[in-house]
Amino acid sequence: MHRVPVLIGSNHDEGNGWAAGIIQAGTRITPANWPRTVADFLPGPAQAPTVARTSYPVTETNGGPVLGAVIGESNY
């Protein structure tokens, strides 16, 4: 293996761009559909109700940013 310099990094709020696209495509994030939506981004979908309730709770007004946080943390 050749030893070469490597630069690794990520951006804060990296998932917000993806979340914006999902929301602009017509998906509305609400407390009612949040557990089902967050399950798509978890390695263990059965954890979705707990994650949605405790780690990433959604209200009627914060669905976009919370979705962005989940996407960012799950992908990056």
- What's at 28, amino acid-wise? R
pLDDT confidence of residue 5: 94
How far from the centroid of its chain's Cα atoms is residue 56's Cα? 9
Give the count of alpha carbons within 13 A of 62, CB side only: 8
**Residue-wise DSSP of 37-50:** HHGGG-SSGGGHHH
- Cα–Cα distances in Å, from 15 out to 11, 25, 39, 45, 75? 9, 16, 16, 19, 8
pLDDT confidence of residue 10: 73
pLDDT confidence of residue 42: 87
User: One digit per residue, pLDDT tens: the chain, 76 residues?
Assistant: 899 999 888 778 889 999 999 999 999 999 999 999 999 988 888 999 998 999 999 999 999 999 999 999 887 7
Six token digits for residue 63:
């669905």
pTM to 2 decimals?
0.78
- What's at 65, amino acid-wise? P
